[in-house]
Amino acid sequence: MQRIMLRGKLHQARVTHAELNYEGSCAIDQDLLDAVNIREYEQIDIYNIENGERFHTYAISGERGSRMISLNGAAARKAAVGDRIIICAYAPMSEQQIEGYKPSLVYLDADNNIVRTSKDIPLQLA
């Protein structure tokens, strides 16, 4: 049996561009892609914190050092510039691969600068 597991997450990313008439996808600063280990053309899920929209697209490389998060094509209708989003990538894993596995978590500030990385999501308390 395989389970679909979180592989990497960019948390609290800010949308910097929304390009309706650009070929679809999400352009992400290559430095951020490297930090979270997302490859160009890899499927990603995007969760808009501001309006609750959740959708699939794929990542493309944005200019290194630009801190760009650009929603392109139809995705441009799902968020506005300045919206906070979460970008996730998932992977199928066997029970053996899951043992001791931890995802790459990258936390961003309002300017899409990396403020910290982690392998653990904090325990949610009641």
Per-residue pLDDT of the chain in tens (126 residues, 90 and over written 9): 899 999 999 999 999 999 999 987 999 999 999 999 999 999 999 999 999 999 999 999 999 999 999 999 999 999 999 999 999 999 999 999 999 999 999 999 999 999 999 998 888 898
* Token pair listed for 122: 């904090």
57 annotated ligand binder: yes
**What positions carry a catalytic annotation?**
25, 58
Q: Considering the domain 2-114, what is its CATH architecture?
A: Beta Barrel (2.40)
Query: Which has the closest alpha carbon to 10: 69, 73, 54, 53?
Result: 69
pTM of this prediction? 0.94
pLDDT number for residue 114: 98
pLDDT number for residue 101: 95
At residue 16, what is the residue type? T
From CA 43, how far away is CA 29, in angstroms rounded?
16
Query: For 6-18, how does the pLDDT look when each residue is reduced to its tens digit (9 = 90+)?
Result: 999 999 999 999 9
Write down the number of H helices and E strands in the chain. Answer: 2, 9
Q: What H or E segment, with its residue span, contains residue 119? A: none
73 annotated ligand binder: yes
27 annotated ligand binder: no
pLDDT number for residue 97: 95
